[in-house]
Amino acid sequence: MQIKTPQSGLLTNHEVLLHMQSEAADYHARYGTEKPEGFPTGLNAMLRDSLSYLTSPDLPLTTLTSTHPSRPMTLYKGPNSLFRALGSKYKLNKAEYLQIYNLRPTSEVMLGLVLEEADTRFSRKQQAEILSIIAEVFAEEESRIPERAEDQEMEKIKNKLEGAGKRRRKVVIPPAGWIWEGREGVGKGIWG
């Protein structure tokens, strides 16, 4: 296993689980229970611990792997995606979509933990609607999702992600002679 491009994208727990299962199968097919010379120490323990965590009954991932065994992309890319269902109505950031995907909130309390400032950004009615959309997307049977749905060309959703706009914050550099409450660099600005 080798990192080719560090931090090139976000991975869901589902994608990590599929990768770990593939690596574990490859590891056991090649080496069985024997550890060859020069093999990274702790790899077997890391695979075992990762798989144990990701398949624990406490995580919603256990049901997801049985309903969507090999195509996690359909839940955040394509016409049947979580992003497509929520993006047209609600502005969420990438981390929030990832948290929704990984944790699958089922109550307003859980949703409040996943979405930043959920109570100020969304009304109770909107939060309830977000929860029903999440439940609807995850309840969809994989057999009803067309093959290669995640590869379809889709119309772009405008202003779909929080913080993804092209506007940049304007940085104002104070001119020479700018004094902050009698001292330079502290407090409220006045011309000196």
Tell me: the pLDDT tens digits for 86-123? 888 888 888 898 888 888 899 999 999 999 999 999 99
Q: What is the pLDDT of residues 28-77, one digit of tens each?
A: 777 776 666 666 777 778 888 888 888 888 776 666 666 666 556 555 56
Q: Token match 């959309």: residue?
A: 133
Fold of 13-151: Growth Hormone; Chain: A; (1.20.1250)
pLDDT in tens, 142-189: 656 666 666 666 566 665 555 444 555 555 566 655 555 555 545 455
pTM, whole model, 2 decimals? 0.63
Task: Give the contacts of 162 (CB within 8 A, at least 6 positions apart).
Answer: 91, 92, 93, 96
Interaxial angle between packed helices 13-31 and 94-103, expressed in degrees from 0 to 180 and rounded to the nearest 10: 60
Tell me, rounded to whole angstroms, the distance of Cα 120 from its chain centroid: 22
CB 172, CB 109: distance < 8 Å? no
**Residues 113-133: tens digit of each pLDDT:** 999 999 999 999 999 999 999
The pLDDT assigned to 57 comes to: 80
Give the separation between CA 151 and CA 18, rounded to whole angstroms.
19
The overall average pLDDT reported for the chain is: 73
Instruction: Give Cα separations from 29 to 1, 46, 82, 148, 174 (angstroms).
Output: 15, 17, 36, 29, 65
- Alpha-carbon distance of 183 to 3, in angstroms, equals 50
Domain layout of the chain by residue ranges:
13-151
